């Protein structure tokens, strides 16, 4: 796709600024909001020390403006979650294609609901395939747990085949996506669940508590052994 060709405009068109506000409505339910935040938070956590992923933008429920005439009032969509690779990592109020070197998302996830499922599976999928040319598209329903993924092959979305655990591989993220405890989660290349920051903190706290308990048990054992030695007339400090 030629960015220059796609964004040719008459000279009398006034370009709007790049900091366009999002036009997206609130997410459907609390479950949808929590799921979007979980996807963003976990990806940021997982990629925090991965230098090759330092330049990316992950966001949700904000507008992507893609008007060929560079007008805010036309041609915009707001995925529930999307990732753009190889771009500057900075806050944005919306994603404006003509201000981002013509870049579109590398991956999009829509969170289905009764009111949006038909559009997410129909019109939006068609736009992401034919206009955005987004390499990977997934959808997930936080209520009934419907989950599917598609990869762009020859300009058409083809279903991503699940692995034996039912996980779908994302080439763009180099991670699996799958349902765990009613939530859409990331899994590494070995199909192991990628923990959230909270899960890691809980594990570390439990591990520290276990270490303290073991240390206390060892201390008590040493004290009992020392007492027994003294009963036998042996000074434990001389051993």
Please write the tens of the pLDDT for every residue from 76-111: 888 999 999 999 989 999 999 999 999 999 999 999
Check residue 236 and report its DSSP letter: G
Indicate whether 152 pLDDT > 50: yes
How wide is the angle at C-alpha 148 spanned by C-alphas 142 and 149, nearest 5°? Answer: 125
The Cα–Cα gap between 80 and 96 comes to: 16
Give the pLDDT of residue 5: 40
Interatomic CA distance for residues 79 and 123, integer angstroms = 12
Res 165 pLDDT > 70: yes
| pLDDT for residue 228 | 80
Report the phi/psi class of residue 174: left, alpha or beta, with left for phi > 0 and alpha for psi in -120 to 50: left
User: Which DSSP state fits 193?
Assistant: B
**Bridge partner list, 84:** 57
| Helices 197-231 and 30-46: angle between axes, nearest 10 degrees | 70
**pTM metric for this prediction:** 0.76
pLDDT tens-place string over residues 177-226: 999 999 999 999 999 999 998 888 776 666 656 777 876 777 778 768 77
How confident is the model over 37-56, as pLDDT tens digits?
999 999 999 888 765 556 89
């Amino acid at each position: 796709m030629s960015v220059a060709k796609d964004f040719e405009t008459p000279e009398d068109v006034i370009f709007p600024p790049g900091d366009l506000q999002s036009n997206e409505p609130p997410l459907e339910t609390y479950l949808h909001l929590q799921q979007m935040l979980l996807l963003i938070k976990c990806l940021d956590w997982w990629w925090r020390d991965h230098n090759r992923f330092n330049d990316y933008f992950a966001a949700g429920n904000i507008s992507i403006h893609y008007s060929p005439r560079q007008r805010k009032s036309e041609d915009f969509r707001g995925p529930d979650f999307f990732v753009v690779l190889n771009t500057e990592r900075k806050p944005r109020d919306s994603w404006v294609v003509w201000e981002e070197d013509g870049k579109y998302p590398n991956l999009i996830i829509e969170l289905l609901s009764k009111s949006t499922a038909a559009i997410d599976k129909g019109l939006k999928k068609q736009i992401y395939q034919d206009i955005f040319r987004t390499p990977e598209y997934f959808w997930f329903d936080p209520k009934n747990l419907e989950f599917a993924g598609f990869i762009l092959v020859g300009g058409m979305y083809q279903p991503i085949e699940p692995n034996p655990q039912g996980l779908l591989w994302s080439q763009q993220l180099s991670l699996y996506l799958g349902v765990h405890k009613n939530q859409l989660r990331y899994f590494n290349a070995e199909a192991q669940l990628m923990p959230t920051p909270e899960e890691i903190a809980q594990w570390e706290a439990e591990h520290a508590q276990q270490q303290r308990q073991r240390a206390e048990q060892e201390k008590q054992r040493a004290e009992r052994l020392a007492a027994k030695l003294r009963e036998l007339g042996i000074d434990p400090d001389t051993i």
